[in-house]
Amino acid sequence: MGHEVTNACNDMNQLNSMALRAKAMLEVDSLEVVADAGCYNSQEIKDCTDQDIVPYIPQTNSLTNKKAGLHTKEDFRYDGENDCYWCPAGEALRHSSNGTYKRG
């Protein structure tokens, strides 16, 4: 159906462009796509959902931090009502103007 050759060392930044191509070729308003974990990239996923494309991708789970005794994403809980994450120490991490989260 469609293909693209890239010199990139991985395909993490290819999801949205390839999904948009498929959507155009199929001439549909919305689309569901499946990709492998190598395509897991939060910005690409957001770009897809903004274009009415629902991606199904297994999330990678790096154990490097856990092995080093550090916290992983799974240790933080998102609170949608207050738009913040709760850290394991019970601190609220609030969204800041630069797109990151900070204590407070």
pLDDT by residue (tens digit) across 9-19? 666 788 999 99
What pLDDT is stored for residue 101 in this prediction?
Answer: 59
Number of domains in the chain: 2
Is 4 a domain residue? no
DSSP 14-80: -HHHHHHHHHHHHT-S-EEEE--GGG--HHHHHHHHHTTEEEE-PPP---HHHHTT---GGG-EEET
Is 47 a domain residue? yes
Is 49 a domain residue? yes
46 & 74 share domain? no
pLDDT cut 70: percent of the chain above it: 73
Q: How far is CA 86 from CA 13, 48, 56, 77, 81, in A?
A: 29, 27, 26, 5, 12
Is 52 a domain residue? yes
Q: Which domain holds residue 99?
A: 68-103
Is 10 a domain residue? no
pLDDT cut 90: percent of the chain above it: 28
Is 61 a domain residue? no
User: Residue with structure tokens 């709760």?
Assistant: 86
Whole-model pTM over 0.85: no
Q: What are the tens digits of pLDDT across the range 20-38? A: 999 999 999 999 999 988 7
Query: Taking Cα atoms as reference points, which of 21, 51, 14, 8 lies closest to residue 35?
Result: 14
Q: What are the tens digits of pLDDT across the range 49-87? A: 999 999 998 876 666 667 777 777 788 888 888 888 898
Is 42 a domain residue? yes
